[in-house]
Amino acid sequence: MTPRSTLNRSLLALVGLVLLGGGLLILFAGLDLYRRHDLVPPAGWPLTTPDDVLLGSADRVRWSSRGWWWWPAVIAALALTALLALWWLLDQLSRRRPGSLPVGGTSLQGGVELRDRALGDAIAAEAGALPTVEHAAVRVTGRPAHHRTRVRLTLTPEGTPGATLGALCEGPLRTARRSTGLADMPTEVRLQVARHKPHRVE
């Protein structure tokens, strides 16, 4: 799993747990499940009987009569929440791209560089020329040190995924490895088949 996937899944689970917990708290009190099943909620439990309200008048008084620091603290907490949510949202929208890749074992400073788009286009052009490939699109994503190549192929109805994969590995990907000197190219290939009507092949 990528770090972004781990982050997203952790935060989704956290939000899910909060929603589930809050919902269950209200449902338990609202349906009076504590009394019906002879459960004794611990002392200080927020909602216990069906007559409780979420925002009691005691709560309102308590919250609005704190010291001078209360409202600045609330504003700071809300601003922090909004900023973190914005950062999380923008992290989903951006796709990291390496920009330039070092070629031929040279370092990034003063060496020969290859634009990620050029590498992707070159692989796509060669992959698109394979006999059973109708369309090929290649993107290089990630950081320069940890870049990965994402290949999307649309096969013609005559194509066979196994054979096409072998041809892709022997042809375009080997060319790319040889010509860039990047021995270690993590590659992700997604194969689709061009939609077509059922037909008989005579």
Partner 1 sequence: MTPDPGPPGRSPASPAHRGAVPLTKEPDPRERDVFTADLPPGEPDRGHRTHRKWSTRRIAAALVATAILVAAVAALVDVIAVRAGRPAAAWRRHLADELATRPVDDVWMLTGAAVAAAVGVWLIVLALTPGQRRWLPLRSPADCPRLRAFLARDGAADLLRDAAMRVPGVGAAHVRVGRHRIKARADVRFRDPRRVKDDLTAVLDEERDRLALARPPRIVVRVRQRTD
Written as one string, the DSSP assignment of 125-168 is HHHHTSTTEEEEEEEEEE-STTEEEEEEEEE-TT--HHHHHHHH
Nearer Cβ to partner 1, position 98 or 126?
126
Residues 143-182 as x/- pattern, contact with partner 1 by CB under 8 A: ------------xxxxxxxxx-xx--xx-xxxxx--xx--
CB closer to partner 1 out of 108 and 188: 188
Write out the binding residues for partner 1, residues 22-81 only, by CB under 8 A.
22-27, 29-32, 47, 50-57, 60, 71, 74-75, 78-79, 81
User: Cα(65)–Cα(71) distance, rounded to whole angstroms?
Assistant: 10
Among 106, 108, 129, 143, binds partner 1 (CB under 8 A): 129
Q: Is 140 in the site for partner 1 (CB under 8 A)?
A: no
Among 33, 39, 82, 108, binds partner 1 (CB under 8 A): 82
Query: Angle at CA 103, nearest 5°, toward 164 and 112?
Result: 145
* Measured distance CA(48)–CA(50) in Å, rounded: 7
